[in-house]
Amino acid sequence: MTLLDSAVWGGKFYSEGWQDSAIEQPVTEPATGDRLGTVGLASAEDVNRAAARAAEAQRAWAATSPQQRAAVLRRAGELFTEHAAEIEDWLVREAGSVRSKAGFEAGLAIGECFECAGLPTHPQGEVLTSQDARWSLARRRPAGVVSVIAPFNFPLILGLRSVAPALALGNAVLLKPDPRTAVSGGVVIARIFEEAGLPAGVLHLLPGDGEVGRAVVEAPEVRVISFTGSTPVGRAIGEQAGRLLKRAHLELGGNNALVVLPGADVAKAASAGAFGSYLHQGQICMTTGRHIVHESLVEEYTAALAAKAEALPVGDPARQDVALGPIIDRRQLERVHGIVTDSVAAGAKVAAGGEIDGAGYRATVLTGLTTDMPAWREEIFGPVAPVISFATTEEAARIVNDCEYGLSVGILGDVGTAMKLADRIDSGKVHINEQTVSDEPNAPFGGVKASGTGSRFGGATANVEAFTETQWLTVRPDIADYPF
């Protein structure tokens, strides 16, 4: 039996084993519309039962030794390695990933598990000074039950990067993947940890609609919500969490800038820009959404970027060797095209692409933009590269910062100039002589402004802060004397 044999999960969700669901949804291949299987959806009542059971199971899981929890995470990493090819196939077919992107995502999952295997034995607090004759400690304790809500675009890693550290630190998890990628973003994770020996009741897979999303936020047992997705939905979840006095870690949208400085190697810069804008059809929060190019290079850069765009084939990544796969669904495809056509109607020029191609969209370059056009202001979430010029680094900084988002910025060219520019930029991540898309399991990840609530993913420091609570503990050798 393969890891993802549909006889195990078909028509089911995972909550202390695979449970039959009263609601089923087809798993659809976006490139062809073919049916790949059927996944079971949870209800709000299922969520409430799962949350209560998770709270019970969490206490026992937190009491297990650090070595036992670390062993489960290591075994999960080994299983991701053993089943990488099968998992990549699902990422290609269900999420529309090209093969290289699927391999990258599976590799991140492996790294995430091995990185998180070190968390159970990571220092869990501080020894404090005290004015009294006592020991004073600030220790980190598991938060309890964590809800993880993950999107469709990098469905495996964007769920796992919260699930793995939360589990490693002694929490139980309710995982709600996007229903469009419920297998690669949910079933894969549940099956891996099931096979890795995670005790029953500690992880629950609960695919569903907005009602289920509200339930995993509002369940009284849940203390932390980790959400990755759009800014509007993130704002709503943040409001819910605030009303309920729960912590919400929000990794939201981006409209990321790539700055090409004077003197930069144009051929290399255009290659970086194409990768940043067109990887996974631009369906990445870190996608390069704004190309800000020095006026001395803008014509040459635009021509080079357009040539690359025209050479990138679009198609079905499961059956063809293509650079761009499908957009996740028809609604999003039409939204991408609508932003392009609205911008052209406002005066922008199409230097390459600008067309729907089957279930996908041609790699597109837009010029002649003003900063109030939709293609410049909005997060497109499609393979569109708008280009604008600048004259001075002061102007470049202003253009970069004149955006509601603040997730990732790339700067190409002279390192000294780039360092000075980086100091003036409001962004959670800055990459000098790289494009905007980058992720590693041990690196902090997060944005500012409308891109989220800061770095709450990646690396021991961020993970411990995200998924534990601080408890002050004091100890005296004898009962203290009091004046009453």
- Which residues are the active-site residues? 251, 285
Query: CB-hemisphere CA count at 13 Å for 336?
Result: 30
Three-point CA angle 454, 457, 463, nearest 5°:
110
Cα 181 to chain centroid distance, Å, stands at: 13
Q: Indicate the residue type of 279.
A: L
Which residues have a Cβ under 8 Å from the Cβ of 356 and sit 6 or more positions away?
Answer: 333, 337, 362
Which residues have a Cβ under 8 Å from the Cβ of 226 and sit 6 or more positions away?
Answer: 146, 147, 148, 149, 162, 166, 248, 249, 456, 457, 466
Cα–Cα distance measured from residue 84 to residue 26, given in angstroms and rounded to the nearest whole number? 24
Which residues have a Cβ under 8 Å from the Cβ of 13 and sit 6 or more positions away?
Answer: 19, 21, 39, 40, 41, 42, 46, 204, 205, 206, 207
User: Phi and psi for 108 in degrees, rounded to 5?
Assistant: -65, -40
Residue 133 DSSP class:
S
Cα–Cα distance measured from residue 195 to residue 190, given in angstroms and rounded to the nearest whole number? 9
**From the CB of residue 224, how many other CB atoms can be counted at a distance below 10 Å?**
25
Cα 5 to chain centroid distance, Å, stands at: 26
